[in-house]
Structure 1
Amino acid sequence: MKKLFLPLFLALACSAYGQRGIKLISGSVAELKGETTLNFEFAYDEVRVGKFADEKDYIDKKKDEYNKKEPGRGDKWEQDWKSDRPKKLEPKFIEGYGDFGVTAKADSKYTLIFNTTFIEPGYNVYVSRKNASLNGIATLVLTSDKSKVIAKITADNIINYGNAVWGYDFDTGARLEGVYKSAGSSIAKFVSKNAGK
């Protein structure tokens, strides 16, 4: 009985967290059948963070807290929060999408614009944790005419189920990297399945 518990737990965890809240809200992904490259762009329009309705309020609070503990630490934290996007988070999203056989290429026929609408940074302090998560909208457009929307897909409550199970994510950046990779992978899986690849 004990030998069956761990595999059963892992299977349930993966099914619960692997593809959460991926929904097609308009258009069709059928045009992407057979496409092996995709251009990627990222937006952060009106991002909510945790309990904060405005990302700026979250940044100001965290920066102030860190600067009070150690002068300059909050300013460095703010720089890292913003620079992590192009350096760490976006590449992880693309990596996750690439797990389904799609290569990032700027001159691809189609572009996926991923707009993050909500970020939960989470925390992990050994004895207590809260998973990082995100919500976003993936808009698939023609690269040559981005006003031509092929499909819109929502991604809600995406978490990194690997770290949710094992818990080795003590750094905020590491937690968010995992979440962005999960988002890319989950959307790619949805597109692949529904485009009939």
Structure 2
Amino acid sequence: MKNAIFLMLLSISLFSFHNVKAQVYVKKGDLKALLSDQSTIGVRFTYNNMSVGKFGSEENYVLQKVNRYDNMKLGRGKIWHKAWINDRFCHFQPEFLHWLTKRTAKTQLQFLDNTDETKYTMVVNTDYVDLGFNALIIRKRAQIHTTIKIVETATNKEVAVLKVAAQSPRFIYSYDEIFSKIRVGQAYKEAGKKIGKYLARLL
């Protein structure tokens, strides 16, 4: 009986892992037709309606964390919140862009961050983030779920929609890996790789 339960749990675990590792899903649009004659595309990151792990909405997560840190020392919550936002610009987005660019290096398409001078813009919205954890003995990988929309830059008209989920590929087994920003950054790295690899094959 114990063996049967173990095998069932293992199967569920492997199924969940496979889902997170799943490839890019195109929900709308013909990316090849849209981008094959383009030399540049803008990239913009958003975090609209993002949920965080078991906390639900980001607002609820931030409120709980700020209150927790302020109870330790007044003003510490504000410092934490600033770091929470800065991680996007210092760790998550650079990882995504670097690997997206690296995987598409052999194509003619270049990615420009926060520009309004391209015909199309790739809007990368983070729908969900699980920070994972590293308790030294027990570890859980971070993961993100994103919706990527290709819009006409001038009109913001949506012309294509993709879904990409990714998780941090492995544990680093170092002190740095204790910090969630490292784990989550690795998940953004994998997401950038996936969409980059998909576009490289397409174009």
TM-score, normalised to structure 1's length?
0.79
Correspondences of 1:1-197 after superposition (within 5 Å): 19-30=21-32, 31-33=34-36, 35-99=38-102, 100-101=104-105, 102-105=109-112, 106=115, 107-147=117-157, 149-156=158-165, 158-161=166-169, 164-168=170-174, 169-193=177-201, 195=202, 197=203
Q: Deviations over 1:96-137 (max 9, x none)?
A: 211122533222332100111101011112111111110010
C-alpha contact (below 8 Å) 1:17/1:159 kept by paired residues: no
Q: Is the 8 A contact 1:23 1:153 kept in 2?
A: yes
Which structure 1 residue ranges, 4+ long, deviate > 6 Å from structure 2? none
Amino acid at match of 1:191: L
Q: Give the C-alpha shift of residue 93 in structure 1.
A: 1.4
**C-alpha separation between the residues in 2 aligned to 1:179 and 1:74?**
25
For residues 123-160 of structure 1, the C-alpha deviation after alignment (integer angstroms, 9 at most, x for no partner) is 1121111111100100012223321x33110012x112
TM-aligned CA distance change 1:54 to 1:17, over 3 Å = closer
Gaps of 5+ in 1: 1-15
Identity score, percent: 24
Partner in structure 1 of residue 7 of structure 2: none
Gaps of 5+ in 2: 1-17
Note the aligned Cα RMSD (angstroms).
2.3
Residue by residue, what CA displacement relative to the aligned partner does 1:53-78 show, whole Å, maximum 9, x if unpaired?
21111111122223333443332111
**For 1:34 and 1:129, how far apart are their aligned partners in 2?**
45
